[in-house]
């Protein structure tokens, strides 16, 4: 009688076998026949409010690093038709709230610098190095822009980018139509020595860009196309947003005066 009761309580063997086979069959379907496929989803697929947060994080990171190329690469992932305008629009909304003034300044600063960077990078000015068609394999010679004209300083700003960066002068040259101008002859003089260089030597920043590393303690005079344009340039110390001491970088924007 006891044996019959125990046999009734014990589950039939075919149920256990079916459960094991079902699990094995399900695993084969899940991992072999129909595996899970994960689609690549980028920032451009985020909801609008999340895109605003992403854009704000880019602006705050740029305010700390000053790396405009990286900021532009990150903004490109959002797929905005006009990233600078999108930043400006978001900055206007942030200005309406007293609690988001810091965010508004970061967004507006990135929008302004991005417009300047894009204007330089998208310019169709002639290349700095042009080969000599009469000599096969000849070394390229630097293109020299028109030496006539007067250049005026339109913007001067001290950037505090990194504690590891040397003291720099970063120069953007634009013609009378606002187009970045390649091949403009520049010179930096400390009173005894003079160094000559040209815009466009750093094509990743656009054809109208040039930079010069200063020596602490020296005072420089900047000349454009042989004419002294700005005197009293000196390396300036600053404090980064992280609180680290650093050498600042002078950002100078020049426009050629109309005749």
SS3 string, the chain, reads CHHHHHHHHCCCHHHHHHHHHHHHHHHHHHHHHCCCCCCCCCHHHCCHHHHHHHHHHHHHHHHHHCCHHHHHHHHHCCCCCCHHHHHHHHHHHHHCCHHHHHHHHHHHHHHHHHHHHHHHHCCCCCCCEECCCCCCCCCCEECCCCCCCCEEEEEEEEECCCCCCCCEEEEEEECCCCCECCCCEEEEECCCCEEEEECCCCHHHCCCEEEEECCCCCCEEEEECCEEEEEEECCCEEECCCCCEEECEEEEEEEECCC
Res. 93: pLDDT tops 80: yes
Res. 24: pLDDT tops 60: yes
Res. 6: pLDDT tops 60: no
Q: What's the confidence (pLDDT) of residue 164?
A: 86
Write the pLDDT tens digit of every residue in 198-226: 998 888 888 889 999 999 889 999 999 88
Q: Kindly indicate the confidence band of residue 14, based on its pLDDT and cuts at 50, 70 and 90.
A: low
**The overall pTM is greater than 0.85:** no
Average pLDDT, the chain: 79
Q: What's the confidence (pLDDT) of residue 253?
A: 93
């Amino acid at each position: 009688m006891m044996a019959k009761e125990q046999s009734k309580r014990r589950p039939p063997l075919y149920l256990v076998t079916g459960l094991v086979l079902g699990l094995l069959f399900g695993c084969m379907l899940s991992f072999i026949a129909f595996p899970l496929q994960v689609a690549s989803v980028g920032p451009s697929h985020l909801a609008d409010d999340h895109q605003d947060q992403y854009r704000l994080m880019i602006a705050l990171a740029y305010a700390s690093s000053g790396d405009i190329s990286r900021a532009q690469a990150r903004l490109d992932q959002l797929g905005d038709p006009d990233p600078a305008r999108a930043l400006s629009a978001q900055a206007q909304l942030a200005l309406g709230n007293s609690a988001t003034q810091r965010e508004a300044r970061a967004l507006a600063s990135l929008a302004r610098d991005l417009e300047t960077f894009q204007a330089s990078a998208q310019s169709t000015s002639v290349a700095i190095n042009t080969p000599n068609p009469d000599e096969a394999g000849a070394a390229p010679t630097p293109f020299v822009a028109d030496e006539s004209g007067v250049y005026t300083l339109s913007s001067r700003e001290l950037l505090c980018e990194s504690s590891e960066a040397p003291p720099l002068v970063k120069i953007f040259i634009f013609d009378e139509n606002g187009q970045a101008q390649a091949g403009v002859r520049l010179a930096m003089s400390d009173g005894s020595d003079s160094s000559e260089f040209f815009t466009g030597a750093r094509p990743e920043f656009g054809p109208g860009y040039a930079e010069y590393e200063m020596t602490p303690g020296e005072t420089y005079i900047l000349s454009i196309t042989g004419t002294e344009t700005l005197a009293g340039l000196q390396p300036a110390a600053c404090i980064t947003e992280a609180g680290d001491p650093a050498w600042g970088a002078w950002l100078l924007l020049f426009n050629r005066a109309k005749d």
